[in-house]
Structure 1
């Protein structure tokens, strides 16, 4: 264990030195600029991809059921290598929240500068419904809490393939409802509770909000969705265009989908693919970010368009030079950090509007102000 901690510390130091080199040196190491679909890949993320290929034999890796526990452990370690240094001034407390079939591990982050804040986001980690944990998303949750001034409650959920669909969704729904019902225990006001997540977690956040609207329950105050997966078993488009060479691959997506949805999306239950929902109206305001070099880009942007058509207030961002999972690379890429801070600004603004009005969450309609943009945004809208 000591040896592993030392190895992580050494690798973290090497990464900081490497990505702190002058830009011309990094360009020499990364190779010529990569442009696809009128977008240029961020230099730091191009360099990270080259380093990753040198350290592993297969682009994007694979998910091996036989060694899944070790892969999950390694994923948690890797998340710590490429994120910002821990923000120690953020108070963090481990606890449990009710899930569908039992308690779920969770971690509550409270920004000390504004401990009296009553706003909270119930956050679900990414990892393709197969990997990820409270530990892997710890650096991101600390950054969101620090920059938004909002309490962040990171919640684990049951993972596939041990617990295929709809286990993760049932846990996410149960957790949101339990937290809202007992908001004071988390230092929050029930009408100031948002849901959020990245990748698979963004899917869960979106579906939780949609299901609350469909069932007529209290809505989350806001939805924060970073590069969400919104449809399964897709092909073509961005899944083909960026299916190799940019971290997450089309092959890995298919493996993860088979684990989470072993029989595909049920014909009578499209909650596993929110883009296929018949009616998206009634949802709370949504911030939805996509990455230009992400296989999931198109389906995320299609969902943003459908939400807007359904009358849902949407702030949509595309960060054209970034890759899937950019919020985990904030220590290495200034562009990734800017994009993540944009999400924190959206969370602060969205919940700030709710707090200013303090109206019941059910059926609310808000228009978010234009937020700071860090990159050209072909999808911007209010």
Structure 2
């Protein structure tokens, strides 16, 4: 990658928090939720941050969990740009939402982001109970270029160390997704 391309990507990443403005009509739901809790989750490529949103009123634990993979065309590492969506899902569906802060290009090459996404979902299946989450009731989804890979990241047979199968995979907006269904299992 040329230096000018790398600088352009870094500028896009740095300006994401100021330039991303979508989902305005849905920003009403969840605005009263507490700030998400940041959890550090181990992956085969190092730890990633996972931001956990909880619905109000506090539901009885363990909560089902929706794992959200933020948008950004695999170039912008700014999961807070989907904060409004995570709050909306938590508030309207009554589930916890785990927003995964996976690494993106050019700092990481394919398939690092996919591995981190899978590993974070698998960790929530195996260890979600430590956070009051029910990993056996897990769905995954996301925005942007992520729409193509959440179903494959968690259930693709070729994925190394496959350790979970979500009960629902969906991309957002739902009208453009082709969800797949499976029973959540622990390996």
For the superposition of Structure 1 and Structure 2, which TM-score range results when normalised by the shorter chain?
0.7 to 0.9
1:105 is matched with: 49
Q: Is it true that 1:160 corresponds to 2:105 in the alignment?
A: yes
Which ranges of structure 1 fall in alignment gaps of 5 or more residues?
1-62, 228-287, 291-299, 314-353, 355-359, 363-382
Matched, 1:93 2:37: yes
TM-score between both structures, scaled by the size of structure 1: 0.42
- Alpha-carbon distance in 2 for matches of 1:115, 1:182: 19
Matched-pair contact (CA < 8 Å) for 1:97–1:105: yes
Structure 2, unpaired ranges of 5+: none
Could you list the structure 1 runs, at least 4 aligned residues long, displaced by more than 6 angstroms after superposition. 213-216
CA RMSD of aligned residues (A): 2.9
Report the equivalent of 1:361. 184
Q: 1:106–1:134: 8 Å Cα contact kept in structure 2?
A: no
Corresponding position of 1:77: 18
**Which of the pair is proportionally richer in helix?**
1
Q: What TM-score does the superposition give when structure 2 sets the normalisation length? A: 0.80
1:139 maps to which of 72, 76, 84: 84
The 5 Å alignment of 1:163-178 reads 163-178=108-123
Mapping of residues 83-232 of structure 1, within 5 Å: 83=24, 84=27, 87-91=30-34, 92-116=36-60, 118-211=63-156, 217-226=163-172
Deviations 1:189-234 (A, max 9, x none): 121111111122222311123326988743112112125xxxxxxx
Residue 81 of structure 1: CA displacement?
A: 7.3
Query: Given that residues 77 and 103 in structure 2 are in contact (C-alpha distance below 8 angstroms), is that contact kept between their aligned partners in structure 1?
Result: no
Tell me the CA shift for residue 177 of structure 1: 1.1
What pairs with 1:25-44 in structure 2 (closer than 5 Å)? none
Distance 1:102 1:86, change over 3 A: farther
Q: CA deviation at 1:110?
A: 0.2
Contact 1:89 1:111 (8 Å CA) reproduced: no
Equivalent residues in 2 for 1:185-334 (5 A)? Answer: 185-211=130-156, 217-226=163-172, 288-290=174-176, 304=178
- 1:361 Cα deviation after fit: 2.6
Query: How many angstroms apart in 2 are the aligned matches of 1:86 and 1:101?
Result: 35
Query: Could you tell me whether the CA contact under 8 Å between 1:80 and 1:139 is conserved in 2?
Result: no
Larger RCO, structures 1/2 (Cα 8 Å, 6+ apart): 2
Given the superposition, is the C-alpha separation of residues 116 and 126 from structure 1 closer, same or farther in structure 2, using an over 3 Å criterion? same
